[in-house]
Amino acid sequence: MNNIHQHAEYLLKAEEENHLVDCLTKDHPDLSLEDAYAIQDRLVELKQETGHSISALKMGFTSKGKMRQMGIDDPIHGKVFEYMEESDGAELVFDEYLHPKAEAELAFKLGGDISGAEVTAEEVLEKTEYVFPMVEIIDSRYRDFKFTLPDVIADNTSAKRVVYSNQLFSPEDFRLDDIGVTLYKNGEAAIRGVSAFVMDHPANSVAALAKMLHERDGRGLRRGDLILTGGITEAVLLSKGDHVVADFEGMGEVVFDIK
């Protein structure tokens, strides 16, 4: 396909100018997954050319809740940039978003390289330096937050913002598949889940990413990589004025406001 670059520019412009666009597959119903990742790669390159740097890798559609909500059954991956990062207590500006949704996730920081086709959750845990709770704010550039699998891959997996906890935890101190999570919106529980909803154990999401990257270009994952393992539950739609608290059992809260 020869219009990879134009598609990447179309999505980048939508993000930069904060306007909704039609799905790429509306005019290009044959868009393959390979084309979709090539568009994402180009979009990432265009951001890098303007001085932005990648700060994390993200997995998407790793829980049944997320898959059911969006009607997609296959895990996907994308890139998070430095400029997307906020920390606990952040005040976000609603007007910078189109139709933001919040999802609670666990992030893994690697202290060693992981590669090959046979990565296990055990190996991931051995190589994990620390984990921390976070909330991802996704904001699809597509109208009505509706898309097909290639569309969402091309759109860098709806990445928009991340709100990180300031507290880091050693993987040995927790059963990382048994962290109860509640997302409160304006004091009311909007959704609850447990970390095992992510592929039975969020370390499996890191292993799946290592395998996907290995198959793509042999890269795998490296020491220092930060991986967001995917929403534990369905994402929750946000409105102007919302106060959001994500409570992670034993790991504390991640809090932000959207003004």
Q: Give the interface with Mg ion as residue ranges (CB under 5 A).
A: 136, 231
Give the bridge partners for 105, in sequence order: 134
| 90 versus 235: smaller Cβ distance to ligand OOG | 235
66 binds, among Mg ion, ligand OOG, none (CB under 5 to 8 A by kind): ligand OOG
Kindly state whether residue 60 participates in binding ligand OOG, applying the rule CB under 6 A: yes
Kindly state whether residue 163 participates in binding ligand OOG, applying the rule CB under 6 A: no
100 binds, among ligand OOG, Mg ion, none (CB under 5 to 8 A by kind): none
202 binds, among ligand OOG, Mg ion, none (CB under 5 to 8 A by kind): none
Kindly state whether residue 246 participates in binding ligand OOG, applying the rule CB under 6 A: no
Size of the site for ligand OOG (CB under 6 A): 15
Kindly state whether residue 140 participates in binding ligand OOG, applying the rule CB under 6 A: yes
| 43 versus 117: smaller Cβ distance to Mg ion | 43
Q: Reduce the DSSP state of residue 5 to 3 states and report it.
A: helix
Kindly state whether residue 88 participates in binding ligand OOG, applying the rule CB under 6 A: no
| 90 versus 152: smaller Cβ distance to ligand OOG | 152
Kindly state whether residue 230 participates in binding ligand OOG, applying the rule CB under 6 A: yes
Q: Tell me how far apart the alpha carbons of residues 228 and 77 are, in angstroms, rounded to a whole number.
A: 10
What the block records as the tokens of 172 is: 């040995």
Main-chain phi, psi angles of 77, to 5 degrees: -135, 155
Please, what is the minimum distance in Å from the beta carbon of residue 105 to ligand OOG? Answer: 6
DSSP 149-168: HHHHHHTGGGEEEEEE-S--
Main-chain phi, psi angles of 184, to 5 degrees: -100, 135
Please, what is the minimum distance in Å from the beta carbon of residue 193 to Mg ion? Answer: 13
70 binds, among ligand OOG, Mg ion, none (CB under 5 to 8 A by kind): ligand OOG
Give residues with Cβ within 8 angstroms of 239, minimum separation 6.
94, 258
Distance of CA 50 to the CA centre of its chain: 22
Closest C-alpha to 156, from 95, 89, 83: 83
Q: Which stretch binds ligand OOG (CB under 6 A): 42-50, 57-65, 126-134, 204-212?
A: 57-65
| 139 versus 247: smaller Cβ distance to ligand OOG | 139
Per-residue b/e over 26-54, b at no fewer than 16 CB within 10 Å?
eebeebeeebbbbbbbbbbebbeeeeeee
Q: Reduce the DSSP state of residue 113 to 3 states and report it.
A: coil
Give the footprint of ligand OOG on this chain (CB under 6 A): 58, 60-62, 66, 70, 103, 136, 138, 140, 152, 157-158, 230-231
